[in-house]
Amino acid sequence: MDYTTLLQLLDSTLRLATPLVFACLAGLYAERSGIFDIGLEGKMLISAFFAAGTAAGTGSVWIGMAAGIAASSSLALLHGVASITFRGNQLVSGIAINFLASGATALIGQNWFRLGGQTPLLDRDSRFSQIELPFADAVSSIPVIGPFYIETLSGHSILVYCALVAVPTTWWLLYRTRFGLRLRAVGENPEAVDVGGISVAFLRYRAMLICGLLCGMGGAYLSTGLAGGFIRDMTAGKGFIALAALIFAKWQPVPALYTCLLFGFLEAASIRFQNLEIAGIAIPVQLMQVLPYILTVILLAGFMGRAVPPRAGGTPYVKER
């Protein structure tokens, strides 16, 4: 494998990892606040639909993304109402959201566009276009780094860079701000937060809103960045892979980026190297496709040590009277 191929592979990795990064960070906010959220998949899906559908109708990808975020946030709030206010089972609520999104997108899509649940193909203006980073010409003469900058880092849609910026932002928010401290506390020990005079419910709702925002961006990227329109169930399990990545990363933002990149890399590799031969042995493509899942199991079981979720995760907070 030469250097150019490697750069193209990493280029593809960045693109494919972006929806995972968004979803993983979304899950991080929710779970750090003590709300298990297996509805990431559904939130991304509904956002992907409304982003593409609105972009197709208005011709503006930004209005599309806003609609996607709005849709995803309303599902996040729904999850919040069910699991914070009414203290319902968070897993059941999450599953319900996934089913709701899968069904609603198909139903509304068929009603609006009569295309069997798809949106029309988006033209160039109603999709996120690739942007070239500045100084691409200037660095082109530098060996190794120049091609890396041009081939791999430059030429993605703006949401890819948003995802990359969201990681340090999340780290800063989580570990360097008062909000972050309280968010982490409410996921570990809500009683203490409550005793401190801070509303547990309000904190958790804010976490869910951030979760909705990030899922919305991830979904919008899927349908208006990666693909040129929405097709049914296009998230195809990405929300669940993001959850696995989150556990993998032990609920920390920077490791979350790495695990998402790893999953993205494996997906990119399975697409590009269909007939891979290592030392004369042909590796079947099926093996490449299941590799992310096998790796998750092996690494989780053997190498990662214990992944301890936030202590209050999954249990609704009941204020003592």
- Residue numbers at the binding site for other proteins (CB under 8 A): 4-5, 8, 12, 15-16, 115-118, 121, 124, 129-130, 222, 226-229, 231-232, 234, 236, 268, 271-272, 274, 285-286, 289
Least distance from other proteins to the Cβ atom of residue 227, Å: 5
As a whole number of angstroms, the distance between CA 223 and CA 234 comes to: 8
Taking the least distance from each CB to other proteins, the nearer of 19 and 212 is 19
Least distance from other proteins to the Cβ atom of residue 38, Å: 22
Residues 6+ away with beta carbon under 8 Å from 180 = 172, 173, 174
Least distance from other proteins to the Cβ atom of residue 34, Å: 33
Q: Are 292 and 265 in contact (CB under 8 A)?
A: no
Q: Are 215 and 76 in contact (CB under 8 A)?
A: yes
As a whole number of angstroms, the distance between CA 257 and CA 18 comes to: 9
Taking the least distance from each CB to other proteins, the nearer of 116 and 168 is 116
Least distance from other proteins to the Cβ atom of residue 216, Å: 18
Taking the least distance from each CB to other proteins, the nearer of 92 and 285 is 285
Q: Which of 212, 293, 249 is nearest to 35 (CA)?
A: 212
Coil, strand, or helix at residue 278?
Answer: strand
Q: Are 97 and 75 in contact (CB under 8 A)?
A: yes
Taking the least distance from each CB to other proteins, the nearer of 58 and 289 is 289
Least distance from other proteins to the Cβ atom of residue 51, Å: 15
Taking the least distance from each CB to other proteins, the nearer of 118 and 296 is 118
